[in-house]
Amino acid sequence: MCIGMAPPTKTPWPHPLIAREGWGHLFFALVLALAVTGFAGWLWALPFWAFVLFVLQFFRDPARCAPVGDKLVLAPADGRIVAVEKTEDPWLKREALKISVFMNVFNVHSNRSPVDGEVLGQWYNPGKFINADLDKASTENERNALHIRATNGADVTCVQVAGLIARRILCYVEPGDRLQPGQRYGFIRFGSRVDVYLPTDARPRVALGDKTRAGETVLAELA
């Protein structure tokens, strides 16, 4: 447990240092690197061992401790802030404050709940795979949205968006489930973004270009 932080959330899956989504990829990379080493030697195998290291760093999944506060909105992903703006929430059909986090291939790709609350709705839309750093990715790319009713009554929409290379959005919750702040709920492979839509009276605590840590960085405060 972290001093001054909320207790770790319990999840229905193991939480090792390497995300379970990467076990198959890591196994394949190791077998390939060992095979090339055995048949061709270390020199030829170096690129394959570099790939093993890439897989290890991509699927790392360090434990996080969420700061305490029922009005805090936490970062759902590691990455860089690429949008802080008022716009329409296309899922709840309302004006909202949108904060977007872009993940490159070197960021941790586990997604975590931004608030403590109940999942009321879920929508999945197939789409394109354009660069997730571009704003139009929010409306044109493959995406999975969750409507979360926070414990203080605020409606929060959290949207996983696929990117240029990302081809798989994984979400492990559905309507009726409860989420604690910072709880791991999904994963996106490889390079993508997460959009968070908040009530317009929410106060941003980040700016464009800021770096975030999922489940730890405070994006905004609810009114």
| Digit-coded pLDDT (tens) for 2-23 | 433 444 444 444 456 777 887 8
pLDDT at 11: 40
Average pLDDT over residues 192-198: 93
CA 129 to chain centroid: 17
pLDDT at 221: 96
Q: What tokens appear for 117 in the block?
A: 């609350």
Does residue 137 have a pLDDT over 80? no
Residue in this structure with the two tokens 């929010």, named with its chain if needed: 138
Q: Are 116 and 6 in contact (CB under 8 A)?
A: no
- Coil vs helix vs strand at 56: helix
Average pLDDT over residues 200-210: 96
Q: What tokens appear for 157 in the block?
A: 């929409």
CB atoms within 10 A of CB 93: 8
Percent of the chain residues topping a pLDDT of 90:
59
Global pTM exceeds 0.85? no
pLDDT at 167: 60
Q: Domain limits of the chain?
A: 20-58, 72-221
Q: Are 29 and 78 in contact (CB under 8 A)?
A: no
pLDDT at 135: 61
pLDDT at 129: 56
Least confident of 31-35, 89-93, 130-134, 216-220: 130-134
Does residue 138 have a pLDDT over 80? no
Enumerate the β-bridge partners of residue 159. Answer: 145, 195
Q: The domain 72-221: what is its CATH number?
A: 2.70.70.10
Is residue 192 among the annotated active site residues? yes
pLDDT at 55: 85
Task: Report the distance separating Cα 170 and Cα 168, nearest Å.
Answer: 6
pLDDT at 192: 82
Q: Which of 110, 113, 138, 192 is catalytic?
A: 192
Q: Which residue has the higher pLDDT, 16 or 154?
A: 154
Q: What tokens appear for 107 in the block?
A: 């960021």
